[in-house]
Structures are given as structure tokens and as C-alpha cells.
Amino acid sequence: MSRRNSLLGALSACALASVFLSAAASAHRPVRVPDASDRASVLLRVPKSGLYGVRVTITTQALQRSMVRLSVGRTLTHVDTAVHSGRAQLSLNVAIRGGKLAIHAADRDEKLRLSVHVRRLRSLAATNPHKGTTAGATASSSTAPPAAPSAAAAAAPASPSGAPGPPGDPASWQLVFDDEFNGSSLDTSEWSTGWFGSTITAPVNSEELECYDPAQVAEANGELDLNLIAKPESCGGQTRPYASGLITTDGKFSYTYGYVEVRAWLPGAGTISDWPGIWADGQSWPTDGELDVLEGLGGQPCWDFHDPLGAFGGCAAAGSYLGGWHTFGADWEPGSVTYYYDGTVVGTVTSGVTSAPMYLVLDLAADNEYGGPLQVPAMLRVDYVRVWQH
């Protein structure tokens, strides 16, 4: 989901077309679903439980770029169809129990064609029955929701401390950027406020309802607060009903490859409210890529990576990572990005990973289309931002 190009459509209920496949179904025999106005679904039925390789291909009727919401069983994600072909593909290894697997795709504007290839890989192990694996040339993401935060994490103290840190051998990493927000004001040698401006600026996307105001960025008591309030302000040639905060390291710090980690307290209860974002962006979008570490989409914590041909990513359960301090990290390596929430892998992207330097962005937006329930006032609290490199 790009903060620059927001085309995510809402996933709605629709009738399922039942398709019967044998357990030995070939990957070369796709299941095709007729066009729908803005959604398509298929219910795969298999006579035997097992681990299945599932490849889903989505084509938009207009053969243009579009963001499509996709669910495959318990996996909820979004894919960005390519500009020239109008086509996107996701490959997963999915544990199918009970003989069926539901697949849904939805887009706000475009008519969709959904094609599914499936083949049985092996029997399911007797242990860990709900854990799936992911694989594929285009992307991979977690097929089961990440573990719910522990009671200890949910009851984290108001003054946060500590962090999981980067994966692997700690000796292999060097800390290259670290802001603990322990001062009385934002360190302007590292950060700027606003989106390409230092005063009140327009939002990242035209559908956002706020202006970014430096007055809504506060550093005190060992944390950074980005505040969303009801305050009409003028920016980008129009008056918007809300004011909020955004900070960026553009022109002051950027990195290529490494592990970025942010410890934050997200707004909302039960579901993420508004549209918080923890991300990194290249200078020339989308050629230089966009790495979304955490983005509140439809009330869910989501992650993805954008390249010139599209985006791949996934989302965790809506109620996860709320009510306390949690860490959100991304290990950007050549050819892959692995996402960590509270030190646990939640997804990996292996398609279209770029190599140009990126700068960091933190923001709290408001809208009626892509974020969670609108809650004003609201606050995105940040304990620290750290970046390590090998």
C-alpha cells in the first residue's frame, strides 16, 4: 500500500463459485473465475488435507495499475497490478484442512479476472497444524496471523525502554542511526517536519484529511508524539479539517540495506485507528522503492514493499500490537525484505526489492478510505528509531 498512490479497495462479501479439484491437480490447469464488477472469488475443494502450492493470478480488465485486496484462506494481503499488463501474481504454500480454501480478490474500481493454479505438495505434519509456509518467485508473507502480544507487552510501562534489536549475530551489526527522543524538542539535525516543506504542508496523498503542522510534533518525557487534532488548516490549495504531525530524515539521513526498528504505541483500541505510517522512501518514487514497515490499513497492521511494477506485502490480525509499546522492524537485504513485529517474523517480500538509498518517514494521517476508524484526537507515540547495518 503506497502512501503516495493509494488505490486499495475494500474487500466485500460476495458469492463463491465452487470449483472441484482432485488432490493431484496440476499446476498447469488453472481455475478461472468470470469477471465481476469489482471482485472475484473461488472456493477450492480438495478431497484430501495437505500442504498445497497455490498460485493466484489477478488481471484487471483495463490492463492498468491498480491495488487489489486479496485473501487466501487466513492470509490477507494486497497486490499491485503492473502498469502495462494489469497483472499481479502471488504464490503461497498453504495448509488446507477440511477440504476447502476460499480465495477472494476485490478492487474499488476495476473489473477483475482471477486465475488459480494448485497442486498438492505433501501431507500435513501431525504437529503445529495451523502453521503454513510461504514461497514463490513473486512474494511471500505469513499464512497465519502472528502471535498475539503477550500480557507483559500490553502492560508495558508509560516510560518505555529496551528493544528486540536486529536479527542474527549482534556482532555482525553496527548501529548507524539512533534517536531515543530523550530531548525537549525534535533534533532538527536528523529530522524535518512536513512533507517536502518546513512549515504547514499538504499531505502525502490528496485523499488525506489533514495538513501536516510542525506544532503537532512534540518530543518530551523520552518519546516523540505525533498528534492528530481537529483544527482546520489550509495546505495544498485547500482547507482540511484536521492537523497532524509528520517527520522525515530526507536530506539528512538515508541508508541502503540494513535493519530499521521503531518502538511505537499505535492509536486505537481493538483496531488501529486513523492511518499511522512507519516507512522509508526513495528519492525517485517508485523507481527507488518504498519500504512500509508498519502501515495501518483498514485497522490492520500491514507491511509491504513498492517497486516500479507494483507492491507486495501482508497484514497481521486487526487487534494485534495495540494497547502498549511494540517494535516494528524490517531487515532490508539484497533481493529481500523481512518484517519483524515484536521480534517475530511476520512476512517476507522477495519481488522487486530495489537498492537505491531511502530516507525515513513517520506520520499519522486521517482519511475515510484506507486507514482505520477515524479517531480524533489521536496520537502516534514513538520511543525510538534505530537503524543498523552490517
What pLDDT digit, counting tens, does each position of 22-76 carry?
333 333 333 333 334 467 777 777 777 777 777 787 777 665 556 677 777 766 6
pLDDT at residue 145, rounded to an integer: 37
Same domain, 94 and 209: no
For residue 51, which of 131, 112, 144, 145 has the smallest C-alpha distance?
131
The residues, any chain, with a CB within 8 Å of residue 198's CB and separated by 6 or more, are 192, 214
Q: Please, is 181 exposed, middle or buried when counting C-beta atoms within 10 Å of its C-beta (0-12, 13-18, 19+)? A: buried
CB 217 within 8 A of CB 186: yes
pLDDT at residue 60, rounded to an integer: 75
Last residue of a domain, one of 124, 147, 179: 124
What is the model's pTM?
0.66
Distances (CA, A) of 174 to 117, 169, 298, 387: 44, 11, 36, 9
Amino acid at position 73, single letter: G
Last residue of a domain, one of 124, 150, 177: 124
Q: Please, is 256 exposed, middle or buried when counting C-beta atoms within 10 Å of its C-beta (0-12, 13-18, 19+)? A: middle
Q: What is the CATH number of the domain that holds 308?
A: 2.60.120.200
Q: How far apart are CA 60 and CA 213, in angstroms?
A: 38
Q: What are phi and psi of 216, to 5 degrees?
A: -100, 15
CB 325 within 8 A of CB 264: yes
CB 139 within 8 A of CB 93: no
Tens digit of pLDDT per residue, the chain (390 long)? 466 543 332 222 222 223 333 333 333 333 333 334 467 777 777 777 777 777 787 777 665 556 677 777 766 676 666 655 667 777 767 778 777 777 877 776 677 777 777 777 777 654 332 222 222 223 333 333 333 333 333 333 333 345 589 999 999 999 999 999 999 999 999 999 999 988 999 999 888 999 999 999 999 999 999 999 999 999 999 999 999 999 999 999 999 999 999 999 999 999 999 999 999 999 998 899 999 999 998 899 999 998 887 778 889 887 889 999 999 999 999 999 999 999 999 999 998 899 999 999 999 999 988 899 999 999 999 999 999 999
Same domain, 120 and 175: no
Q: Which domain holds residue 66?
A: 18-124
Same domain, 223 and 298: yes
Same domain, 273 and 380: yes
Domain-embedded: residue 145: no
Tally of domains within the chain? 2
Q: Strand, coil or helix: what is 43? A: strand
What pLDDT digit, counting tens, does each position of 231-278 carry?
999 999 999 999 999 999 999 999 999 999 999 999 999 999 999 999
Q: What is the CATH number of the domain that holds 59?
A: 2.60.120.260
Q: What strand order describes the sheet that includes 112-122?
A: 31-36, 112-122, 50-60, 87-96
Identify the helix (H) or strand (E) that includes residue 153. helix 151-154
Same domain, 175 and 297: yes
Q: Within 13 Å of residue 137, how many CA atoms lie on the same side as its CB?
A: 4
Same domain, 186 and 111: no
Last residue of a domain, one of 124, 158, 182: 124
